[in-house]
Chain A
Amino acid sequence: MALLAIITGVVWYAVFTLENGRDLRMVVFDVGQGDSIFIEAPNGNQVLIDGGPSNAVLGKLGGAMPFWDRSIDLMVLTHPHADHIMGLVEVLKRYDVGMVIESGVNYSTAEYRAWRTLLEQKHIPIMIARAGQKAHLASDIKLTILTPFESFVEKSPSNVHDAMVVSKLVYASSSALLTGDAEKYLEYRLLLSGADLRSDILKVGHHGSKTSTTEDFVRAISPRYAVISVGKKNRYSHPAQQTLDTLAKFNIKIFRIDQDGDVEFVSDGSRFEKVP
Chain B
Amino acid sequence: MAGVGLRSFVATPYVAVCAGLLVGCAVFTLGVSGQNRSRIIYGAIIASFFIGMLRFDVAARPNPDVASLIGTSTTVRGVVWLEPTFGPQSQTLHVRVLSVDNLGVAAPLIVRAVNKRHPVYEIGEELILSGRITDPTDDANFRNNTPAQPPVMLFPRIKTTNAPNRRPIMHALVRLKQTFGKSIDAALPEPHGAFLKGLLLGERTSLPADLLESFKETGTAHIVALSGYNITIIGRSLAWILMMLTIPFYASFWVACSAMALFVLMTGASASAVRAGIIAVLALIAYREGRPYQMTNALAFAGAAMLVFDPTLLRFDVGFQLSFLATMGLVYLAPLLEPRIEHASDRLKRFVGVRPVSRALWHGNSETTPRVFLTVKRLFIETLSAELAVLPLLVYLFGYLSLISPFANIAVLIAVPYAMGTGFFTGLAGFFSSVLGSIVGVASWILLEYIMDAVKVFASFPYATVELGRSGVSLILRIYGAAAWRIYRKTL
Binding site for B on A (CB under 8 A): 6, 9-10, 32, 53-56, 58-59, 61-62, 65, 67-68, 70, 82, 86, 89, 93-94, 109-111, 113-114
Chain B, 200-233, contact with A by CB distance < 8 Å: what is the 0/1 string? 0000001010000000000000000000000000
Partner of B116, one of A55, A67, A110: A110
Given contacts A6-B443, A61-B189, A86-B117, 4 further A-B contacts (CB under 8 A): A67-B449, A70-B189, A89-B118, A94-B185
Q: CA separation between A172 and B445, bound complex, in Å?
A: 38
12 A-B interface contacts by CB (under 8 A): A32-B88, A55-B206, A59-B194, A62-B192, A67-B189, A67-B449, A109-B118, A111-B116, A111-B117, A111-B118, A113-B118, A114-B118
Decide: B191 and A62 in contact? CB cutoff 8 A: yes
Contact A86 B89 (CB under 8 A): yes
Find out whether the CB atom of B118 lies under 8 angstroms from the CB atom of A110: yes
0/1 per residue, B417-445, Cβ < 8 Å to A? Answer: 00000000000000000000010001101
Say whether B414 faces chain A, with CB atoms less than 8 Å apart.
no
Q: Is B299 an interface residue (CB 8 A)?
A: no
Q: Are B189 and A110 in contact (CB under 8 A)?
A: no
Q: Is the CB of A62 within 8 A of B189?
A: yes
B290 interface contact, C-beta 8 A: no
Cβ-defined contact, B118 with A6, below 8 A? no
Is the CB of B446 closer than 8 A to any CB of chain A? yes
Within 8 A of A (CB), among B112-128: 116-119
Contact check, B88 vs A6: say whether CB atoms are below 8 A apart: no
What is the minimal beta-carbon distance from A9 to any residue of chain B, in angstroms?
8
Q: What's the minimum C-beta distance from A92 to chain B, rounded to whole angstroms? A: 12
Interface of A is mostly: helix
A208 to B418, CA, bound (A): 47
**Contact in complex: B191, A59 (CB < 8 Å):** yes
Q: Is B26 an interface residue (CB 8 A)?
A: no
CB-nearest residue of chain A to B192: A62
Q: Is B190 an interface residue (CB 8 A)?
A: yes
Residue of A nearest to B448 (CB): A67
Report yes or no: B119 in contact with A114, Cβ–Cβ below 8 A. yes
Known: A67-B445, A110-B118. A55 touches B88 (CB 8 A): yes
The answer to whether the Cβ of B109 comes within 8 Å of any Cβ in the partner chain is: no
Contact A53 B118, CB 8 Å, known A59-B208, A62-B189: no
B222-246: which have CB < 8 Å to A? none
Is B32's beta carbon under 8 Å from chain A? no
With a CB–CB cut-off of 8 A, which chain A residues contact B194? Answer: 58-59
Question: Are A58 and B446 closer than 8 Å at their CB atoms?
Answer: no
Contacting pair B186 A94 (CB below 8 A): yes
**Contact assessment for A59 and B190 in the assembled complex, using a CB-CB cutoff below 8 Å:** yes
Chain B residues near A93 (CB, 8 Å)?
185
A32 CB to closest chain B CB (Å) equals 8
Contact B118 A67 (CB under 8 A): no
Expressed in whole angstroms, the Cα–Cα distance for A6 and B444 within the complex equals: 12
Most chain B C-beta atoms within 10 Å of own C-beta, residue among A58, A61, A65, A93: A58
User: How many whole Å from B17's CB to the nearest CB in chain A?
Assistant: 50
Residues facing A in B137-195 (CB within 8 A) are: 185-186, 188-192, 194
Which of B117, B188, B206 has the most CB atoms of chain A within a 10 A radius of its CB? B117
Distance in Å: Cβ of A242 to nearest Cβ of chain B: 28
Question: Within the assembled complex, what's the spacing in Å between the Cα atoms of A54 and B88?
Answer: 5
A206 and B127 CA atoms in complex are apart in Å by: 36
In this complex, what residue of B is CB-closest to A6?
A: B446
Distance (whole angstroms) from the CB of B402 to the closest CB of chain A = 24
Given B89, B116, B117, B190, which contacts A61 in the complex, CB threshold below 8 Å?
Answer: B190
CB-based contact B438/A53 at 8 Å: no
Asked if A54 and B89 sit within 8 Å, CB to CB, the answer is yes
Of the candidates A10, A58, A110, A113, the one whose C-beta lies within 8 Å of that of B442 is A10
B89 touches A53 (CB 8 A): yes
A56 close to B208 (CB less than 8 A): yes
- Which residues of chain B come closer than 8 Å to A94, judged between CB atoms? 185-186
Query: What's the minimum C-beta distance from B198 to chain A, rounded to whole angstroms?
Result: 13
Q: Which 3 A-B pairs have the closest CB atoms?
A: A62-B189, A54-B88, A58-B190
